[in-house]
Structure 1
Amino acid sequence: MSVITVTRFTIEPDTGTALRTRHADLVAAIRSATPGLVETRLGQVDEQTWIGIWRWDSAEHLQAARRIAPDLPETTATFSLARAVTAADVAVVDEH
Protein backbone atom coordinates (compact mmCIF):
# COMPACT_ATOMS: atom_id res chain seq x y z
CA MET A 1 0.00 0.00 0.00
CA SER A 2 1.39 3.41 -0.91
CA VAL A 3 1.91 6.16 1.63
CA ILE A 4 1.80 9.92 1.21
CA THR A 5 3.74 12.14 3.58
CA VAL A 6 2.46 15.69 3.91
CA THR A 7 4.90 18.11 5.53
CA ARG A 8 3.83 21.66 6.35
CA PHE A 9 6.33 24.32 7.36
CA THR A 10 7.12 28.00 7.23
CA ILE A 11 10.12 29.84 5.81
CA GLU A 12 11.28 33.41 5.63
CA PRO A 13 9.60 35.02 2.58
CA ASP A 14 12.90 35.78 0.83
CA THR A 15 14.12 32.15 0.90
CA GLY A 16 11.62 30.58 -1.51
CA THR A 17 14.11 30.25 -4.36
CA ALA A 18 16.69 28.63 -2.09
CA LEU A 19 14.04 26.27 -0.73
CA ARG A 20 13.03 25.13 -4.21
CA THR A 21 16.66 24.41 -5.12
CA ARG A 22 17.40 22.59 -1.87
CA HIS A 23 14.17 20.58 -2.10
CA ALA A 24 15.15 19.38 -5.59
CA ASP A 25 18.59 18.43 -4.27
CA LEU A 26 17.01 16.52 -1.37
CA VAL A 27 14.66 14.63 -3.68
CA ALA A 28 17.59 13.63 -5.90
CA ALA A 29 19.66 12.51 -2.89
CA ILE A 30 16.84 10.40 -1.45
CA ARG A 31 16.12 8.83 -4.83
CA SER A 32 19.75 7.88 -5.31
CA ALA A 33 20.08 6.47 -1.77
CA THR A 34 16.91 4.41 -1.43
CA PRO A 35 14.13 3.03 -3.65
CA GLY A 36 10.41 3.66 -3.47
CA LEU A 37 9.93 7.42 -3.85
CA VAL A 38 7.19 7.63 -6.49
CA GLU A 39 6.65 11.38 -6.74
CA THR A 40 7.07 14.65 -4.88
CA ARG A 41 5.32 18.00 -4.94
CA LEU A 42 6.28 21.26 -3.30
CA GLY A 43 3.51 23.78 -2.88
CA GLN A 44 3.26 27.30 -1.59
CA VAL A 45 0.22 28.34 0.50
CA ASP A 46 1.39 31.93 1.03
CA GLU A 47 4.71 33.81 1.24
CA GLN A 48 5.79 31.89 4.33
CA THR A 49 3.78 28.64 4.38
CA TRP A 50 4.79 25.71 2.21
CA ILE A 51 3.73 22.08 1.90
CA GLY A 52 5.80 19.14 0.71
CA ILE A 53 3.97 16.05 -0.54
CA TRP A 54 5.97 12.89 -1.04
CA ARG A 55 4.45 9.64 -2.26
CA TRP A 56 6.11 6.33 -1.44
CA ASP A 57 5.26 2.95 -2.91
CA SER A 58 5.23 1.41 0.59
CA ALA A 59 5.57 2.25 4.26
CA GLU A 60 8.74 0.15 4.33
CA HIS A 61 10.41 2.36 1.73
CA LEU A 62 9.37 5.47 3.63
CA GLN A 63 10.90 4.06 6.83
CA ALA A 64 14.12 3.15 5.01
CA ALA A 65 14.41 6.72 3.73
CA ARG A 66 13.75 8.11 7.19
CA ARG A 67 16.63 6.04 8.54
CA ILE A 68 19.13 7.56 6.12
CA ALA A 69 17.72 11.08 5.70
CA PRO A 70 19.22 12.57 8.90
CA ASP A 71 22.72 11.72 7.64
CA LEU A 72 22.28 13.45 4.27
CA PRO A 73 23.68 16.97 3.93
CA GLU A 74 20.75 17.78 1.64
CA THR A 75 18.33 17.13 4.50
CA THR A 76 20.19 19.51 6.79
CA ALA A 77 20.41 22.16 4.09
CA THR A 78 16.72 21.98 3.23
CA PHE A 79 15.36 21.90 6.77
CA SER A 80 17.69 24.67 7.92
CA LEU A 81 15.28 27.00 6.13
CA ALA A 82 12.13 25.51 7.69
CA ARG A 83 10.33 26.43 10.90
CA ALA A 84 7.19 25.09 12.57
CA VAL A 85 7.49 21.76 10.76
CA THR A 86 4.61 19.30 11.05
CA ALA A 87 4.18 16.05 9.15
CA ALA A 88 1.53 13.40 8.65
CA ASP A 89 1.74 10.02 6.94
CA VAL A 90 -1.38 9.02 5.03
CA ALA A 91 -1.99 5.44 3.94
CA VAL A 92 -3.65 5.46 0.51
CA VAL A 93 -6.72 3.25 0.73
CA ASP A 94 -8.54 4.22 -2.46
CA GLU A 95 -7.45 5.68 -5.78
CA HIS A 96 -9.43 6.81 -8.78
Structure 2
Amino acid sequence: MTTVRTHRYTVETGNLAAMLEHRTNLINGIRSANPAFAAATLIRLEDGSYLDIWRWDSAEDMQIAAQAAAGFPLVGATLSLTTDHTIIDGEILDER
Protein backbone atom coordinates (compact mmCIF):
# COMPACT_ATOMS: atom_id res chain seq x y z
CA MET A 1 0.00 0.00 0.00
CA THR A 2 1.26 3.49 -0.80
CA THR A 3 2.86 5.19 2.20
CA VAL A 4 3.63 8.83 2.90
CA ARG A 5 6.09 10.44 5.26
CA THR A 6 5.05 13.96 6.15
CA HIS A 7 7.65 16.35 7.48
CA ARG A 8 6.46 19.56 9.10
CA TYR A 9 9.02 22.28 9.72
CA THR A 10 9.82 25.96 9.56
CA VAL A 11 12.62 27.65 7.67
CA GLU A 12 14.51 30.60 9.08
CA THR A 13 14.19 33.86 7.14
CA GLY A 14 16.86 33.98 4.47
CA ASN A 15 17.35 30.19 4.33
CA LEU A 16 14.50 29.22 2.00
CA ALA A 17 16.45 29.35 -1.28
CA ALA A 18 19.29 27.28 0.19
CA MET A 19 16.86 24.79 1.71
CA LEU A 20 15.03 24.38 -1.62
CA GLU A 21 18.32 23.79 -3.42
CA HIS A 22 19.45 21.20 -0.83
CA ARG A 23 15.99 19.59 -0.90
CA THR A 24 16.10 19.24 -4.70
CA ASN A 25 19.55 17.63 -4.58
CA LEU A 26 18.46 15.37 -1.72
CA ILE A 27 15.34 14.24 -3.59
CA ASN A 28 17.34 13.57 -6.77
CA GLY A 29 19.87 11.49 -4.84
CA ILE A 30 17.25 9.49 -2.97
CA ARG A 31 15.21 8.96 -6.13
CA SER A 32 18.21 7.67 -8.09
CA ALA A 33 18.92 5.09 -5.37
CA ASN A 34 15.28 4.21 -4.62
CA PRO A 35 12.91 3.73 -7.57
CA ALA A 36 10.04 3.19 -5.07
CA PHE A 37 10.24 6.89 -4.14
CA ALA A 38 7.21 8.10 -6.06
CA ALA A 39 6.85 11.84 -5.35
CA ALA A 40 7.63 14.73 -3.05
CA THR A 41 5.25 17.64 -2.53
CA LEU A 42 6.16 20.79 -0.61
CA ILE A 43 3.33 22.93 0.78
CA ARG A 44 3.70 26.31 2.49
CA LEU A 45 1.02 26.68 5.16
CA GLU A 46 -0.75 29.86 6.22
CA ASP A 47 1.33 30.09 9.39
CA GLY A 48 4.59 30.09 7.37
CA SER A 49 5.52 26.50 8.20
CA TYR A 50 5.89 23.79 5.56
CA LEU A 51 4.51 20.32 4.94
CA ASP A 52 6.88 18.19 2.89
CA ILE A 53 5.05 15.03 1.85
CA TRP A 54 7.14 12.19 0.46
CA ARG A 55 5.31 9.34 -1.21
CA TRP A 56 6.59 5.76 -1.37
CA ASP A 57 5.26 2.62 -3.06
CA SER A 58 5.21 0.80 0.30
CA ALA A 59 6.12 1.20 3.96
CA GLU A 60 8.92 -1.34 3.50
CA ASP A 61 10.45 0.70 0.67
CA MET A 62 10.25 3.84 2.80
CA GLN A 63 11.94 2.16 5.77
CA ILE A 64 14.77 0.77 3.61
CA ALA A 65 15.40 4.21 2.12
CA ALA A 66 15.23 5.90 5.54
CA GLN A 67 17.89 3.55 6.90
CA ALA A 68 20.13 4.19 3.88
CA ALA A 69 19.60 7.97 4.14
CA ALA A 70 21.13 8.04 7.61
CA GLY A 71 24.56 8.18 5.97
CA PHE A 72 23.59 10.54 3.15
CA PRO A 73 25.31 13.93 3.79
CA LEU A 74 22.55 16.01 2.19
CA VAL A 75 20.06 14.86 4.82
CA GLY A 76 21.91 16.69 7.58
CA ALA A 77 22.65 19.70 5.39
CA THR A 78 19.00 20.06 4.44
CA LEU A 79 17.66 19.51 7.96
CA SER A 80 20.11 22.07 9.34
CA LEU A 81 18.16 24.74 7.44
CA THR A 82 14.90 23.84 9.19
CA THR A 83 13.56 24.16 12.72
CA ASP A 84 10.65 22.64 14.65
CA HIS A 85 10.89 19.50 12.50
CA THR A 86 8.38 16.70 13.09
CA ILE A 87 7.67 13.52 11.10
CA ILE A 88 4.40 11.64 10.69
CA ASP A 89 4.03 8.44 8.63
CA GLY A 90 0.80 7.09 7.20
CA GLU A 91 -0.84 4.96 4.51
CA ILE A 92 -3.01 6.35 1.76
CA LEU A 93 -6.40 4.70 2.04
CA ASP A 94 -8.33 6.65 -0.57
CA GLU A 95 -7.62 9.17 -3.32
CA ARG A 96 -10.17 10.63 -5.64
Shift of 1:26: 0.6
Query: Is the 1:35–1:61 contact (alpha carbons within 8 Å) kept by the matching residues of 2?
Result: no
**Identical-pair percentage:** 33
| CA deviation map 1:28-75 (0-9, x unaligned) | 111122221111011222585122111101001100111011101111
Matched positions, count: 96
For 1:93 and 1:52, the matched residues in 2 are separated by: 19
Higher relative helix content: 1
Please say if 1:58 is aligned against 2:96.
no
Specify every segment of 5 or more residues in structure 1 that has no aligned partner in the other structure, as ranges. Answer: none
* Partner amino acid, structure 2, of 1:13: T
Task: Please give the TM-score of this superposition, normalised by the length of structure 1.
Answer: 0.91
* Partner amino acid, structure 2, of 1:91: E
For 1:71 and 1:47, the matched residues in 2 are separated by: 32
Shift of 1:95: 2.1
Q: Provide the residue aligned with 2:76 in structure 1.
A: 76
Q: Provide the residue aligned with 1:89 in structure 2.
A: 89
Specify every segment of 5 or more residues in structure 2 that has no aligned partner in the other structure, as ranges. Answer: none
Q: Provide the residue aligned with 1:32 in structure 2.
A: 32
Q: Indicate the SS of the match to 1:22.
A: helix
For 1:25 and 1:46, the matched residues in 2 are separated by: 26
Q: Provide the residue aligned with 1:10 in structure 2.
A: 10
